[in-house]
Structure 1
């Protein structure tokens, strides 16, 4: 059976399952080159089907992840800027009217109208409406956490995000036959995730995109002023008997821009970030701890955009009640395409055929001619193009000499994290490499930490991981060991580390680079950051890679079998 999962909200995406095995997944932002592209993932769907040699009519079921649909991002529109404006506008008269309309059937009518347009796009490809289905938003998140690592009936499944189909959090228990029973839910009007969105907008950053920047800023502040900011956020929510709600007089976070602006107007930005992060860690861990004690479970399965906060995940993993923690990788709404397909299988009695997530290298793989055309383009630009007999060894040699090397190889990663196939790599012992990558290549904020890729064979050398948590996807954070060896890949203020632990089985060619680097330096870790210019999607095709190299200070690119270098200053 061939199933296509669809996420048509923000971070639009598509996924393909064949007989319970995930064979491909892609975000719409990659082929369209529009960051966090929302709406119907038409180009992602087309590329996935084409890469598998399939036609739309061969798909047995198209399953939408959530009843809410977004309008498509128009070509050329800067959605980031419009998002910031929308949160400020939501605090005005228009926002109040919108808030009232959300409590009427009008909200559902708008989503149904958008969904009808998406159905028409499928029908235009010859898809029968009888083959189109929908799974509720948080069921999709829960499905990724439940089926992604493989079903474990002793686990507790929790989802937390901004909002989806009227909810912001759920608690579920596995039941026989692969089912999940929801035992608690929290309405979106009380969303901690939406609080992060409005504070992100208040800081002049992009909601639903730059929350990680606030997390990165948080360790730079401490003391009484950060504590006062934390108490301000803490006073806005109340925990009670396994649920939470806003305190009296606190407005719905989505429409609370002016409320928080007045209270934070003279609070320094880093104190705000520190207070918000500290509140979130304490609040969510206390809530989760309560459910662990109530259910007697010691294994946690988490999903939803709030768990993209790796420092929160670190705090959860350190709870004494937690023996085992699995956070679904890149657990924002993009993964609801996967969850929708898995939940659909469970609804049709085939949960036992769902195969656990094996890898995130799920995007289409460039053809040899794609690499050759891009290499020819590099030659036309006057760059040096060679085909080393051992490309992995050559990359390791450059890294060991202090060079920065980008890599585009094989199937691209799905989701927000680059895991070696669309990455920029460097020696993590070099203190100056952060400045080089930030200023010359990534063009991003100076305070943001980088992350390391670590050989699984020497993970204990770099991670303090007493519970032996599995960490292949940069979704968990740990305190670091041998910090000087990974200094450029740790948070500069607190020494924490967000690793990708690389095994030979999961990515042989990338693991080989780490092996060769270790042979030269004695160190089994490299700095790894996503291959993109800040504010743009991670590169997808070889042509995208050449384009980023052309527009940045990147000097070395491993492009499939080719090694491309350009003179400094080009």
Structure 2
């Protein structure tokens, strides 16, 4: 059975699942180059078909994530194209009149106000544009049905697949299935929690997974934790649906002294009652109402108060459910599950036996959940192969890379090292140079895990300064992260439960004695790290590079950040990699068979083997 999974929400993507095994995933942003792209992912669909070697006629089921949703937002690509100013305008011109003044506006009015963010011609070419023409003449009650009809028509035009083979799955169900079926110990009983800004009909759920089935035992559409985090992000002048992680990263810089009043306010919104999260008060508008209350509070104190409140609610909620149901394994999914500090707190709970959060647990994995749901619907749950790897994207051969290098005439401008070894690359990093690595199949998800990564020395804060000044231009408070040999985990991290975290989904405390030794990969305020724990079987080439660096430095750790410029999607192709190299001051661009070095002095100094260098 071959299933094409599609998510057209923000972080839209496509995947192929063959007989339960996930064989290809592609995010639309990697191909369109529009970060957080949303809408019908036709480029990604074409890409995963090519990667998997599947033709449209071989597809048995097309599985869409989301049975409802705001189709207008897919058209004006809100989460991708809205600036902070546009988000505030929408709050002022649409949400405030609707929520606080009870004006009878609809999503159509929001679309009319917002459509200018997208080029008019580009909008009319959108595969979903027919929705606009039909929705204008229809009742809002018909929009969901019309939207799904337009989605089916897009697939029919694109792939020639009959509508009876296209299915729609509830947004929340896709989250919970992705979370549970990506768990290496799926099959064991678990409590599955989802929490997010909003799904088809809920913002938080609790389910019990046992005997191969997942049964929802509670849901609520009034839990506002995800939406609250979104709009506090906006209140702090950051971009919602993309920059929540910056609020999380800011929080540890403050303390109770500056955040106490913010925390006290947040505590008036929800409380945990037994196994449920209940409202203490209903805040109709989460931007203006919250902004006015927090108007005199320090920005970092607001972040601290929000993060502390989120952790309090989640921990109490999870513990109460564990005690009630007597199930001690926890799977966490949905947008809020991308909060790595909250995940750390949940993992550390003594009541939790096993804690799991999958990579890209937000909407960027919904299509995978939908594809696995289609398999479950066919009674083939036992075939689902989980997520043994995230290297599920495109791979470029030597010929394609050489053609790109020639096209950009890169070898005319920079020194060339053929067949660079792990030892040579490790030596460059040891000498303080920044290396951009483009190798093998691209990673699935928001985290670069070695194949589309920028690497640097973790032992000096100069690495952070260099990357920020030359390449990333990141906010000053945001830390960088490490890739770490699995054999180093016990030595370096506080990890009493021996958790294996290969996807950078959770924070850990670095042991005190290593804080000064690895300043470039810790959070400066709370001394935590968000590691990629790496076993050799997961990525032999990358493992060998880090192992070679350990021989030089004493640490099987490198700084690893995604290979992209600030605000861009992670590079997908050799052309993307080269353009990023040319637009930045990356020292070395590394492919498997060749490295391009910005200055031959670097190579001469590090390698001391001039005959290996080709320069013009």
Alignment TM-score, normalising by the size of structure 1: 0.94
Displacement after TM superposition at 1:234 (Å): 1.1
Asked whether the equivalents of residues 89 and 95 of structure 1 are also in contact (C-alpha less than 8 Å), the reply is no
| Structure possessing the higher radius of gyration over alpha carbons | 2
The alpha-carbon distance between structure 1 residues 99 and 245, as it changes in their structure 2 partners (threshold 3 A), is farther
How far, CA to CA, are the matches of 1:466 and 1:325 in structure 2? 13
The alpha-carbon distance between structure 1 residues 518 and 73, as it changes in their structure 2 partners (threshold 3 A), is farther
Displacement after TM superposition at 1:445 (Å): 0.9
**2:3 counterpart residue number:** 3
Displacement after TM superposition at 1:99 (Å): 8.3
**2:330 counterpart residue number:** 300
Moved more, 478-487 or 493-502: 478-487
CA deviation digits over 1:230-276, x for unaligned, max 9? Answer: 1111111122232123323x324xx3211011111111111100100
How far, CA to CA, are the matches of 1:538 and 1:165 in structure 2? 29
What does 1:230-241 correspond to in 2, within 5 Å? 230-241=263-274
What does 1:84-103 correspond to in 2, within 5 Å? 84-94=88-98
How far, CA to CA, are the matches of 1:231 and 1:112 in structure 2? 43
How far, CA to CA, are the matches of 2:48 and 2:404 in structure 1? 21
How far, CA to CA, are the matches of 1:161 and 1:139 in structure 2? 13
SS of structure 1 residue aligned to 2:450: coil
**1:197 counterpart residue number:** 230
How far, CA to CA, are the matches of 2:180 and 2:366 in structure 1? 13
Moved more, 339-348 or 49-58: 49-58
The alpha-carbon distance between structure 1 residues 357 and 219, as it changes in their structure 2 partners (threshold 3 A), is same
What does 1:485-524 correspond to in 2, within 5 Å? 485-524=517-556
**1:71 counterpart residue number:** 74
Displacement after TM superposition at 1:425 (Å): 0.5
How far, CA to CA, are the matches of 2:316 and 2:414 in structure 1? 56
Unaligned runs of 5+ in 1: none
Unaligned runs of 5+ in 2: 108-137, 601-616
Is structure 2 residue 443 aligned with structure 1 residue 413?
yes
**1:157 counterpart residue number:** 192
Moved more, 32-41 or 67-76: 67-76
How far, CA to CA, are the matches of 2:141 and 2:419 in structure 1? 59
Candidates 349, 357, 362, aligned match of 1:319: 349
**1:135 counterpart residue number:** 169
Asked whether the equivalents of residues 36 and 80 of structure 2 are also in contact (C-alpha less than 8 Å), the reply is no
How far, CA to CA, are the matches of 2:92 and 2:590 in structure 1? 44
Asked whether the equivalents of residues 84 and 204 of structure 1 are also in contact (C-alpha less than 8 Å), the reply is no
CA deviation digits over 1:339-373, x for unaligned, max 9? Answer: 11111111211101111211111111123222112
Displacement after TM superposition at 1:53 (Å): 2.8
**1:251 counterpart residue number:** 283
**1:537 counterpart residue number:** 569
Is structure 2 residue 215 aligned with structure 1 residue 181?
yes
Alignment TM-score, normalising by the size of structure 2: 0.87
**1:224 counterpart residue number:** 257
The alpha-carbon distance between structure 1 residues 77 and 284, as it changes in their structure 2 partners (threshold 3 A), is closer
**1:22 counterpart residue number:** 22
CA deviation digits over 1:526-549, x for unaligned, max 9? Answer: 010111111111111111011111
CA deviation digits over 1:92-145, x for unaligned, max 9? Answer: 22555688758xx96653333333222111111211001100111111111012
**1:35 counterpart residue number:** 35
